[in-house]
């Protein structure tokens, strides 16, 4: 009982112990913040990689692409129904996007996808803005411009199909969530900034909502290409839904030469039907998604017949990538190995007629982890390095606890002598200071865990506050770190381990002082006093 009494008394009365508590608190918070941010960054890299690529990726790392993709997709879906859930081809090319009204031109990565298949293979659909609030209305097919008019009561209204889609989402989301939707807020205050007003010259009478303009193929644009990020984390979109944009393409032949056309690089007019936010700045600031078949046709990667001067024959259609989603429970590495063997058997009888057989020989099938191995490995090493550095810095708390306890032992030599003289053992005296160190660790670690957790949860708001004060105070630049938000999740396991280490470190810091106190002789202590 006397051990607990003295431990609590020293903790309350000896104010110097507060410095030890503060040191443990700050070191715990610092390490927890670093581990959470770096661990969250690593998890974001892994989640985004898998979300964008699917489970397996088939490619030859060439803009020329490779043939026989559709036959192989059909084959593996038929032969491996227990492993393969879905597969879709993707064309990745480069070009230029131009916004005609603003006369703004930007470089772009042009991606050809089959929208419905892509949304089943990966998480592309989760990042679509308009598709969230108007499910089923985003399309890469021909579309006109949806315009806001006014209903009979004079309130802003959308075309009937969009209104119906909005009501479906609103019913599933509930009134509280629907009221926070940016589009609903815009319409409620008669500021329909996401949709164009009905053109007066085309309405032919009352400004009735509807679809206007000529049909153009749809395009989904990366959010950072068509919107500005505000300090509060929302986006201000520069263009209405249905806004026309021009894409200029850079096609290549199957032999890798730029395709020669009489009018230079081909251009085509599209309509902006949605924008996609993956959370990866390098993708959201560059990518434009169009229909796979359309892009294949523009780049002349569809089936091509060769003239007699080129030897005749045909060039089979090509794609640059195939993304594959596995069924739950399927082993990615084992399935990859099976697909590699099956691919070799598949193309063996087809390779002889190709002008460029290397396109098919160099096809690789990778898991999403292997595809992003260099990036993920670099982030993992960075996490270990930074955590180690801050862990070494935090060792100062151990020495500070030891110094403070050493001073307390020196000042309390008389008390120790009295305790020993009434029968306390050396072990009992040592246990007082060990318990004292544990108490410092428990309190300081708890405060540090709460402080670090609160800071991580609010780290993006703190970043936005600094940016509003002075843009130069921005510590997380999306262009540098790829992701547009700082990871703000604290794992319970990380917090628990760091808290336990803080308590053990405090106990370790008290051991030297406890040993010294245990060796004090009662007579010498009283004579010293």
351-361 pLDDT, tens per residue?
Answer: 777 777 888 88
What percent of the chain is predicted at pLDDT more than 70?
Answer: 76
Give the percent of the chain with pLDDT over 90: 23
Say whether both 158 and 25 belong to one domain.
no
Q: Does residue 480 form part of some domain?
A: yes
Residue 184 pLDDT more than 70? no
Write the DSSP assignment of 157-189 as a string of letters.
E--HHHHHHHHHHHHHH-HHHHHT-HHHHHHHT
Range of the domain at 451: 2-47+375-525
- 171 and 204 co-located in one domain: yes
pLDDT tens for 71-108 read: 999 999 999 999 999 999 999 999 999 998 888 899 99
Both 488 and 411 in one domain: the answer is yes
Which of 303, 331, 362 is the endpoint of a domain? 362
Q: What is the pLDDT at residue 519?
A: 53
Statement to judge: residues 65 and 31 lie in one domain: no
Q: For residues 113-129, give the mean pLDDT.
A: 91
Predicted pLDDT of residue 190: 47
In a domain, 152, yes or no: yes
Question: For residues 200 and 439, which has the higher predicted lDDT (pLDDT)?
Answer: 439
Report the pLDDT averaged over residues 478-488.
66
pLDDT at 370: 81
* Average pLDDT score over the chain: 79
Most confident residue range from 7-21, 144-158, 285-299, 475-489: 285-299
Residues 521 and 384 occupy one common structural domain:
yes
Reported confidence tier of residue 112, pLDDT bands at 50, 70, 90: very high
CA distance 291 to 123: 17
pLDDT band at 524 (very low <50, low <70, confident <90, very high): low
Average confidence (pLDDT) over 344-365? 83
Whether 256 and 149 share a structural domain: yes
* Predicted pLDDT at 384: 79
Q: What does each C-alpha distance from 32 to 125, 411, 454, 509 come to in angstroms?
A: 33, 34, 11, 20
Q: Is the pLDDT of residue 348 over 80?
A: yes
Same domain? For 176 and 35 the reply is no
**287 plus 425 within the same structural domain:** no
pLDDT of residue 2 exceeding 50: no
More confident residue, 373 or 503: 503
Give yes or no: residues 205 and 244 share one domain: yes
Count the helix, strand and coil residues of the chain and give each as a percent rounded to the nearest 5: 55, 20, 25
pLDDT score at 409: 58
Residue 7 in this model has a pLDDT that exceeds 70: no
Mean pLDDT of 402-411: 62
- The verdict on 129 and 38 lying in the same domain is no
Phi, psi of 52 (to 5 degrees): -90, -25
In the predicted model, is pLDDT for residue 9 greater than 60? no
Q: Is residue 405 part of a domain?
A: yes
Q: Is residue 55 part of a domain?
A: no
- Considering the domain architecture, whether residues 443 and 385 belong to the same structural domain is answered as yes
| pLDDT at residue 458 in the model | 86
Place of tokens 């192989």: 72
User: Helices 492-518 & 426-457, crossing angle to 10 degrees?
Assistant: 150
If one counts the domains in the chain, the total is 2
Least reliable range by pLDDT among 24-33, 137-146, 382-391 = 382-391
Q: What is the rounded distance in angstroms from the CA atom of residue 167 to the CA atom of residue 65?
A: 42
- Residue 410, in any domain of the structure: yes
Distance between CA atoms of 7 and 431, rounded to whole angstroms? Answer: 9
Tens digit of each residue's pLDDT (9 = 90 or more) over 284-329: 888 999 999 999 999 888 887 765 555 556 778 999 999 999 999 8
pLDDT at 450 over 60: yes
**Residue 368: inside a domain:** no
Residue 53 in any domain: the answer is no
Phi, psi (deg, nearest 5) at residue 331: -80, 115
pLDDT at position 501 over 90: no
**Does residue 84 sit within a domain?**
yes
Q: Which residues contact 179 (CB under 8 A, 6 or more apart)?
A: 185
Q: What is the pLDDT of residue 313?
A: 65
- Using the predicted structure, report yes or no on whether residue 445 has a pLDDT greater than 60: yes
The residue-averaged pLDDT of 185-199 equals: 66
List C-alpha distances in Å: 438 to 81, 441, 507.
Answer: 58, 5, 5
* pLDDT mean over 155-174: 83
Across 438-455, average pLDDT: 86
Whether residues 190 and 290 share a domain: the answer is yes
């Amino acid at each position: 009982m006397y051990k607990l009494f003295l431990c609590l008394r020293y903790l309350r009365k000896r104010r110097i112990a507060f410095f030890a508590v503060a040191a443990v608190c700050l070191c715990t918070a610092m390490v927890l913040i670093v581990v959470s941010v770096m661990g969250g960054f690593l998890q974001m890299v892994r989640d985004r990689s898998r979300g964008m690529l699917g489970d397996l990726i088939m490619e030859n790392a060439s803009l020329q692409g490779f043939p026989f993709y559709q036959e192989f997709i059909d084959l593996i879906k038929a032969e491996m129904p227990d492993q393969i859930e879905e597969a879709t081809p993707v064309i990745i090319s480069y070009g230029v996007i131009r916004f005609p009204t603003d006369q703004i031109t930007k470089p772009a990565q042009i991606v050809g996808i089959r929208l419905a298949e892509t949304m089943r293979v990966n998480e592309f659909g989760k990042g679509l803005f308009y598709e969230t609030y108007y499910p089923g209305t985003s399309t890469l097919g021909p579309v006109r411009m949806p315009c806001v008019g006014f209903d009979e009561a004079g309130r802003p209204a959308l075309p009937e199909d969009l209104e119906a889609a909005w009501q479906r989402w609103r019913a599933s989301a509930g009134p509280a969530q629907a009221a926070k939707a940016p589009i609903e807020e815009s319409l409620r205050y008669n500021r329909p900034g996401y949709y164009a007003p009905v053109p007066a010259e085309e309405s032919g009478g009352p400004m009735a909502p509807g679809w206007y303009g000529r049909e153009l193929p749809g395009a989904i644009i990366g959010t950072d290409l068509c919107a500005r990020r505000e300090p509060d984390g929302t986006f201000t979109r520069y263009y209405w839904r249905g806004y026309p944009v021009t894409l200029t393409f850079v096609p290549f032949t199957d032999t890798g030469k730029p395709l020669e056309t009489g009018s230079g690089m081909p251009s085509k007019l599209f309509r902006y039907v949605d924008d996609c936010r993956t959370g990866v700045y390098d993708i959201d600031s560059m990518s434009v998604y169009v229909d796979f078949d359309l892009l294949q046709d523009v780049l002349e990667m569809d089936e091509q017949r060769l003239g007699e001067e080129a030897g005749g024959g045909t060039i089979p259609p090509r794609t640059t990538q195939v993304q594959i989603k596995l069924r739950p429970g399927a082993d990615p590495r084992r399935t990859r190995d099976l697909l590699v063997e099956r691919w070799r058997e598949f193309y063996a009888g087809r390779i002889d007629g190709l002008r460029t057989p290397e396109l098919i020989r160099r096809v690789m099938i990778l898991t999403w982890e292997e595809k992003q191995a260099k990036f993920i490995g670099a982030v993992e090493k960075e996490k270990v390095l930074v955590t180690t550095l801050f862990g070494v810095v935090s060792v100062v708390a151990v020495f500070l606890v030891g110094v403070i306890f050493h001073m307390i032992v020196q000042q309390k030599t008389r008390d120790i002598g009295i305790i020993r003289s009434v029968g306390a053992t050396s072990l009992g005296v040592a246990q007082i200071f060990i318990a004292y160190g544990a108490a410092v660790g428990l309190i300081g670690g708890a405060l540090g865990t709460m402080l670090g957790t609160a800071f991580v949860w609010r780290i993006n708001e703190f970043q936005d506050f600094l940016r509003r004060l002075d843009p130069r105070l921005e510590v997380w630049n999306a262009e540098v770190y790829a992701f547009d938000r700082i990871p703000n999740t604290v794992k319970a396991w990380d917090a628990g381990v760091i808290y336990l280490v803080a308590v053990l470190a405090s106990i370790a810091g008290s051991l030297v002082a406890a040993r010294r106190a245990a060796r004090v002789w009662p007579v010498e202590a009283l004579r010293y006093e």
